[in-house]
Amino acid sequence: MGKEQNKSNVELATFAGGCFWCIQQPFEKIEGVIDVIAGYANGNGEVPTYQDHKQKGYVEVVQVSYDPHKVSYEKLLDVFWRQIDPTDKGGQFYDRGPSYRTAILYHNLEQKNEAEKSLAILQESGRFSKPIATEIEPFKNFYPAEQYHQQYYAKNPEHYQAYKKGSGREDFLSKVWNKEIPDEETLRKKLTPLQFDVIRREGTEPAFRNEYWDNKKPGIYVDRVSGEPLFSSLDKYDSGTGWPSFTQPLEAENIKEKEDTKLFVPRIEVRSQKADSHLGHVFDDGPGPSGQRFCINSAALRFIPLEDLEKEGYGKYKTLFKNENIKD
């Protein structure tokens, strides 16, 4: 990545999650992350290599440089948990042994406290039946891995995908984190016909005759099926199209894009990451620095007003609205 950044605004976070190939990409997608480097940490001896890092007691990690004013350490922890099996003491999936253990290597006391809190919340959530085995330990040292390991997912996409799938990681993560998504029969009962058509059949609701096209209240928009945060009212603007329009996502990693060739002119479809809901499309005719316009169907969204963020479980987003007045 290597983005330009004022060093005074940069902090480090270090995570061990098994093979470092598989945990580099998820962090690189996050707004506020400056750089992600695969490497070796908390071992003995200098300059470990891929050939000898196990013998020297190093663990495979990614070191994340981030701007704490744009992304919180809490958010990075949430991304980390979603890439691993935290109950496995002996490694991760195909890869066995101490060098593939999971660990959060904290750089200061604040990170230590956040990590312990995050682990406790995950354990109490009941998502895993076994105890969380991920270790929380002080950061000791770090050495970047060889260049061919950096952004391996982009350099060797076919081998990377085959490895991630074949190792069992992809299926495990999908099962654990998507298990609360209802099946189609349940969704048909839960959603209105229009909502189901939009979300599961890539339909489009009428312009100017939908729930949120002119909603001006402060708050966030979440996926109607999964509840994953998608957009903020702070990035919403009147595009004149008759659909909710946003200049950027609230959480970039909760959005995925794919080419849509159903019409004569190819478009970029926008879907939610977790529920795989069809949301709308993104165009290059928006305002501001990005020039993007996320044109989204109201039917795929649920609006959480600012005053309800805490009770709905989205309290961490309240700080985004410091200059907004809550109206009871």
Active-site residues: which are they? 19, 295
Q: Where are the alpha helices (DSSP H) in the chain?
A: 21-28, 73-81, 109-124, 152-155, 157-166, 169-177, 184-190, 193-201
Contacts of residue 306, defined as CB under 8 A and 6 or more positions apart, other chains included, come to: 217, 218, 219, 318, 321, 324, 326
Contacts of residue 193, defined as CB under 8 A and 6 or more positions apart, other chains included, come to: none
For residues 216 and 182, is the Cβ–Cβ distance under 8 A? no
Ramachandran angles phi, psi of 159, nearest 5°:
-65, -40
CB atoms within 10 A of CB 55: 12
Give the angle 107-112-118 at the CA atoms, nearest 5°. 130
Kind of pairing, strands 11-17 and 102-106? antiparallel
